[in-house]
């Protein structure tokens, strides 16, 4: 299945879809799913715009409201998570996930869904230690503190994901797992982003709780954004060669690592780096948001749109589709013009459970990985030049994708840039699914709603079949088990340990199975419904709306409706 993975969207929906359409035409491929890794910015009106945490000069209404109103129809099934620049008032209506408009689905504060045989999990927001143990107490109207704290990940939602036992194909997060940079070409990363150095070597570049999710879930793929650069890495879970700081001692992984003196040698910086560690290396494009309640390190990193940076990532794929634009980055108007679509003649990362037909036409394999390049992983330009970091992963062609007991041993990590001309913001990945050999089912025609705007952007509406999209049974049981805890209060939440929650979740799994005939797993049948006015209707309102999708979801599994 062809999946278009996107970094930070920043409300540029039409430009993004136009890029995908042009890529399809150029490479003769058909994208089945679009995944956006945060900063989606589902802005319906000017009130939503006020609920985004960023300086006023960066607040732009965007074009999402045209999709919300029905003026435009998203031409691809799209799934996204939240980042740290969102219309949080709207996303809070869909705490457990839901459609923000037709064909665009929000995964929720944390969530798991099944799309055409792929099990997709995700967590929205970014990690902030001060708010991690707190409840999700923020309510409209937000003040200067709550407009920022609302997008901070909470232990409650993270703990739910830590309860997952069945294999996950794709994990989505906005910020990176801390330590993931050491599993890719971090020398090249620091060459491009020197100001990452201090945080990277202090294990502060990313989210520590995401480390636990990575080690526990072992997803086949992990996609992120947030840091506005492209970066690829491979984690072999049978050979964790580098330290992952962990939030939970009970989840501390067993590392297969060299002796301590070798680790120190790998991690030690040279004299110049030690000096730079003491002298803060500033990010020239950083936007600092003042917040008296946060510590000095609570910064939101943005790239200056006037700076033209072409990130050359070495850990890529010879058949990878890179979207770049000949225009300078100061053309930040949402219109992607005269794109250059090129193939990077570079090495790639190995694929877990990969079945590659090398006789297929090149256009049939527009993916991140191919089997025939695994032996080139020791290339100095594509991996860290240390024997300890070299890994050869045996391809398992006989792996049964339907066998849920098979745990993934390799996670392929990919972070992408933001949607701007000249940036590497999208990559098409070919991911095998257990439904891959089946024809499209549950087909329903999507009404042809071709607009003049779509014609101008090169997007043509068409009739298509809906691929299966369902709620996840294990996730429903986990959601029920956590329902009794006061997540929507301002106090810290006393949640039992992961091991102590197991019995409760097992009981809820039985409840779900007993009531499965009463639960409609088909997400398409809990459709999008407008709840607020859309631009240019700018009636000011300081209230939240009860979303019918959330109400129906909660009623189906008999849980409390969030009080937003």
Domain that holds residue 139: 2-247+409-436+466-557
Residue 160 in contact with residue 501, Cβ under 8 Å? no
| Range among 289-303, 322-336, 534-548 rated most confident | 534-548
Phi, psi of 189 (to 5 degrees): -60, -45
Query: What is the per-residue pLDDT for 14?
Result: 95
| Range among 132-141, 311-320, 428-437, 470-479 rated most confident | 470-479
Query: What is the per-residue pLDDT for 438?
Result: 52
DSSP string, 312-324: --SS--TT-EEEE
User: 244 vs 88, which has greater pLDDT?
Assistant: 88
The whole-number average pLDDT for the span 145-150 is: 96
Query: Across 494-538, where does the E strand assignment appear?
Result: none
Least confident of 96-105, 119-128, 199-208, 258-267: 258-267
Which two tokens mark 167?
């294999």
293 CB-near residues (< 8 Å, 6+ apart): 130, 145, 149
Query: What is the per-residue pLDDT for 249?
Result: 52
* DSSP-derived pairing of the beta strands 221-224 and 339-343: unpaired
Query: What is the per-residue pLDDT for 341?
Result: 31
pLDDT tier at 65, thresholds 50, 70, 90:
very high
CA 310 to CA 118: how far, in whole Å?
Answer: 32
Structural domain contains residue 315: no
CA distances from 4 to 7, 184, 425 (A): 10, 21, 10
Query: What is the per-residue pLDDT for 57?
Result: 87
- The two most distant CA atoms of the chain are separated, in Å, by 66
pLDDT tier at 201, thresholds 50, 70, 90:
confident
Number of other residues whose CB lies within 10 A of the CB of residue 507 = 12
CA 370 to CA 356: how far, in whole Å?
Answer: 7
CA 56 to CA 53: how far, in whole Å?
Answer: 9
Return the CATH number at 131.
Answer: 3.60.21.10
Number of other residues whose CB lies within 10 A of the CB of residue 221 = 25
The whole-number average pLDDT for the span 344-364 is: 34
Number of other residues whose CB lies within 10 A of the CB of residue 290 = 8
Q: Whats the size of the chain, residue-wise?
A: 564
CA 135 to CA 491: how far, in whole Å?
Answer: 6
pLDDT tier at 465, thresholds 50, 70, 90:
low
Structural domain contains residue 423: yes
Q: Kindly report the average pLDDT of the chain as a whole number.
A: 75
Which two tokens mark 543?
């209230």
Query: What is the per-residue pLDDT for 443?
Result: 37
Residue 435 confidence (pLDDT) above 60: yes
| SS3 label, residue 166 | coil
pLDDT digit string (tens) for 449-460?
334 444 444 443
pLDDT digit string (tens) for 216-227?
999 999 999 999
Structural domain contains residue 288: no
CA 53 to CA 55: how far, in whole Å?
Answer: 7
Structural domain contains residue 305: no
pLDDT tier at 383, thresholds 50, 70, 90:
very low
The whole-number average pLDDT for the span 106-122 is: 98
Structural domain contains residue 7: yes
Structural domain contains residue 363: no
pLDDT tier at 396, thresholds 50, 70, 90:
very low
pTM of the predicted model, to two decimals? Answer: 0.74
Residue 142 confidence (pLDDT) above 70: yes
Residue 317 confidence (pLDDT) above 60: no
Q: How many domains does the chain have?
A: 1
The whole-number average pLDDT for the span 238-247 is: 80
Structural domain contains residue 362: no
DSSP state of 465: P
Residue 357 confidence (pLDDT) above 50: no
CA 487 to CA 12: how far, in whole Å?
Answer: 33
Structural domain contains residue 514: yes
The whole-number average pLDDT for the span 524-529 is: 97
Residue 319 confidence (pLDDT) above 70: no
CA 515 to CA 330: how far, in whole Å?
Answer: 55
């Amino acid at each position: 299945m062809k999946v278009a993975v996107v970094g930070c969207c920043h409300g540029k929906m039409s430009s993004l879809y136009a890029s995908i359409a042009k890529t399809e035409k150029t490479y003769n491929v058909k994208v089945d799913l679009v995944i956006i890794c945060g900063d989606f910015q589902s802005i319906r009106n000017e009130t939503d715009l006020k609920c985004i945490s960023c300086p006023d000069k960066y607040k732009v209404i965007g074009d999402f409201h045209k999709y919300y109103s029905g003026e435009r129809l998203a031409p691809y099934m799209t799934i996204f998570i939240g980042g740290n620049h969102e219309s949080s008032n709207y996303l809070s209506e869909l705490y457990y996930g839901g459609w923000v408009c037709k064909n665009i689905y929000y995964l929720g504060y944390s969530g798991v869904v099944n799309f055409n045989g792929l099990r997709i999990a995700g967590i929205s927001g970014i990690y902030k230690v001060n708010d991690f143990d707190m409840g999700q107490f923020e309510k409209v109207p937000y003040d200067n503190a709550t407009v920022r704290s609302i997008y901070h990940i909470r232990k409650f939602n993270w703990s739910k994901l830590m309860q997952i036992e069945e294999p996950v194909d794709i994990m989505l997060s906005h910020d990176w797992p801390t330590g993931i940079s050491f599993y890719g070409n971090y020398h090249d990363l620091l060459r491009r982003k020197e100001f990452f150095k201090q945080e990277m070597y202090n294990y502060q570049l990313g989210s520590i709780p995401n480390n636990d999710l990575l080690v526990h879930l072992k997803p086949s793929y992990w996609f992120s954004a947030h840091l506005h650069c492209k970066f690829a890495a491979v984690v072999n879970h049978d050979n964790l060669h580098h330290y992952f700081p962990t939030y939970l001692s009970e989840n501390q992984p067993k590392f297969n690592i060299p002796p301590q003196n070798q680790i120190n040698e790998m991690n030690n910086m040279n004299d110049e780096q030690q000096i730079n560690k003491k002298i803060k290396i500033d990010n020239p494009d950083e936007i600092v948001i003042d917040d008296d309640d946060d510590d000095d390190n609570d910064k939101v990193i943005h790239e200056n749109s006037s700076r033209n940076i072409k990130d050359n990532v070495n850990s890529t794929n010879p058949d990878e589709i890179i979207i770049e634009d000949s225009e300078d980055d100061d053309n930040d108007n949402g219109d992607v013009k005269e794109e250059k679509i090129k193939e990077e003649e570079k090495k790639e990362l190995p694929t877990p459970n990969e079945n590659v037909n090398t006789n297929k036409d090149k256009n049939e394999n527009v993916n991140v990985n191919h089997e025939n390049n695994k032996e080139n992983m020791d290339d100095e330009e594509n991996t860290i030049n240390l024997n300890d970091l070299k890994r050869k992963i045996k391809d398992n062609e006989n792996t049964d994708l339907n066998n849920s007991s098979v745990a993934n041993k390799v996670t392929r990590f990919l972070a992408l840039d933001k949607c701007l001309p000249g940036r590497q913001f999208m990559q098409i990945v070919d991911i095998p699914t257990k439904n891959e050999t089946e024809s499209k089912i549950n087909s329903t025609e999507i009404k042809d709603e071709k607009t003049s705007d779509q014609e101008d952007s090169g997007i043509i509406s068409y009739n298509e079949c809906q691929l299966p999209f369902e709620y996840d049974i294990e996730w429903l049981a986990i959601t029920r088990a956590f329902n009794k805890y006061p997540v929507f209060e301002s106090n810290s939440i006393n949640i039992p340990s992961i091991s102590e929650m197991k019995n409760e979740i097992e009981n809820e799994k039985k409840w779900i199975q007993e009531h499965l005939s009463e639960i409609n797993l088909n997400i398409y049948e809990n459709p999008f419904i407008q709840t607020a006015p859309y631009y240019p209707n700018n009636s000011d309102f300081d209230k939240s709306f009860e979303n019918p999708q959330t109400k129906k979801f909660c009623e189906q599994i008999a849980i409390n409706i969030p009080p937003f």
